[in-house]
Amino acid sequence: MEYLVIALIMFLGAFLQGLTGFGSGLIAVSLLVLYLPLTTITPTLSIVNLLMATYLSWVLRRHIHLTQWRWLLVTGVLGTLVGNLLLAHVNLVGLQVGMALLVMSVAICFWFGVQWQLANTPRLQGTTGLLAGFSNGALTLGGPPVVLFLTSHRLARDSFRATLAVFFWVLALTNVISFSVQQRYEVSQLPILLALLAGMGIGTALGHQVSRYLSESLFRRITLVLVFSAGAMALFSAWQSS
């Protein structure tokens, strides 16, 4: 029964990811901690996220423009590695609170139409990639910075989802390699991994299909609600840790 619940939780998170291009961690991590330790969740979810991003990158491949976002991808890897390193040595609660409040504030501004057009320059891409990668590696809040950056450019729905899929693929691959080097994977995790993969496969495919029926305006509002929710959950997590 526990494996069925784990698969269902992953199904819900993957459906959200397939629908919008991000957000699986909002559901998956929040609910899986009720059944599994974080030491198991983090490495196994990295494998699941890698495969999920691979699938979405493939089905959205026509909308991927790697050269346009290369600095975002490169600095995302660097930021993730720095975040992983600092996570083991520095108390980042204060930084998590600041990041959560910033993300929530920007999401509210975008919701009410207060928005600015950010230039797509290597410097801004690099800054966003570092921030998102660092948040991913250290604060488990990697999605919102890059989501808000792409939202400011008003990308079409499929281009938005495709760019996120590639970005999260790069970050997930970085995490999997990092955890492998740290020898964080164990044979005992295999049944849990299989349950997660079962839920991920069905949920991602279904979410991708449903996404086709969303209007651009509804898609944008769902995205901003998820970003705000991610910030609120990170704020709550920081409060519990303090």
Mean per-residue pLDDT for 44-63? Answer: 94
CB 109 within 8 Å of CB 151: no
- Evaluated on CA atoms 23, 61, 70, 80, the torsion sign reads positive
Q: How far apart are CA 25 and CA 172, in angstroms?
A: 12
Q: How far apart are CA 72 and CA 79, in angstroms?
A: 10
Higher confidence at residue 106 or residue 53? 53
Q: How far apart are CA 26 and CA 233, in angstroms?
A: 8
pLDDT tens digits, 170-225: 988 988 898 888 888 888 899 999 999 999 999 999 999 999 898 988 998 999 89
Q: What is the pLDDT of residue 4?
A: 94
CB 233 within 8 Å of CB 150: no
Q: How far apart are CA 224 and CA 220, in angstroms?
A: 6
Q: What is the pLDDT of residue 48?
A: 94
Q: Work out the pLDDT band at 241, boundaries 50, 70, 90.
A: low
Q: What is the pLDDT of residue 161?
A: 94
Q: How far apart are CA 139 and CA 68, in angstroms?
A: 27
Q: Work out the pLDDT band at 239, boundaries 50, 70, 90.
A: confident
Instruction: Show Cβ contacts of residue 45 under 8 Å, excluding neighbours closer than 6 positions.
Output: 25, 28, 29, 32, 196
Q: What is the pLDDT of residue 141?
A: 66
CB 195 within 8 Å of CB 101: no
pLDDT tens digits, 109-152: 888 877 666 678 888 999 999 888 887 776 666 678 888 888 88
SS3 88: coil
DSSP 116: -
